[in-house]
Amino acid sequence: MHSGPVKVVVLGRRSSGLPLDRFRAWAAAELAPGLAGLAGAVRQAQSLTLLGGYRSGDPIYDVVHELWFPDEAAARWASSSPAFTALTSDRALDPASLTVLHVEEHVIKDLDEPTGGVKSIEFVARRADLPCSEFRRYWREVHGPLAARIAPIQGYVQSHCLPSCYTAGAAPRWDGLATTWFDDTAAMRRSATLPEYRATREDEPRFLAPGHLPFLITTETVTVDSPTPPSAPGAS
């Protein structure tokens, strides 16, 4: 059991036929406060895909909701609670899209989140022949510093799925998330023209599964901090 801070990430799309504006209103008015009330949660952030991300079709997810806990026991207890299940089973969410990850964060570039900035979230899958431990080491120690050199990036955090997510032959939908912050979408586009960006892309086949790396461009719409959270029953 991981003893350090753990983040629970909830990924989802809206249910078929539900208008996007109604889904976004539900996510802000019901999903966010409901998840924030889970025992043991010390912080949360909700990110919604920018409307521009729908111009060429629906993105992989409409919402990314992050919840921080002091340790894995508290995170596991909260994410298996009836309240969590009720919120993530709401008819507003497409059940086939729902993905819940338990991750450990690694700050690669100190976060200087710009006011009104944008947040890019990439969904990472490791190369099939690479052991999880080596994947995590390479991503953090080799690839991370490469990406941190891209000047327009204001902050860079890697979220690695916990070893406990790989049990009895099971594996999470994603092996992790790479989250970067930019002043605006223009800065993000500018970063893609730089040689440092090209170097990170050229490095990806060394540790990532082949193919397209799914990503979202979002704005962080809800952030809640609870300096003195209630204890999760049974957590230790």
- Asked if 126 and 207 touch (Cβ cutoff 8 Å), the reply is yes
> What pLDDT, in 10s, does the model give residues 168-220?
778 899 999 999 999 999 999 999 999 999 999 999 999 999 988 899 999 98
Statement: residue 137 has pLDDT above 50: yes
What are the extents of the domains in the chain? 6-224
The larger pLDDT score, comparing residue 183 to residue 234, is at 183
State residue 230's pLDDT score.
Answer: 45
In whole angstroms, what is the distance from residue 138 CA to residue 119 CA?
23
Whole-number mean pLDDT of the chain? 91
Q: What is the mean pLDDT of residues 26-49?
A: 93
The CATH number fitting domain 6-224, selected from 3.30.70.100, 3.30.420.40, 3.90.1150.10, 3.20.20.70: 3.30.70.100
Mean pLDDT value of segment 156-167:
93
pLDDT in tens, 162-173: 998 888 778 899
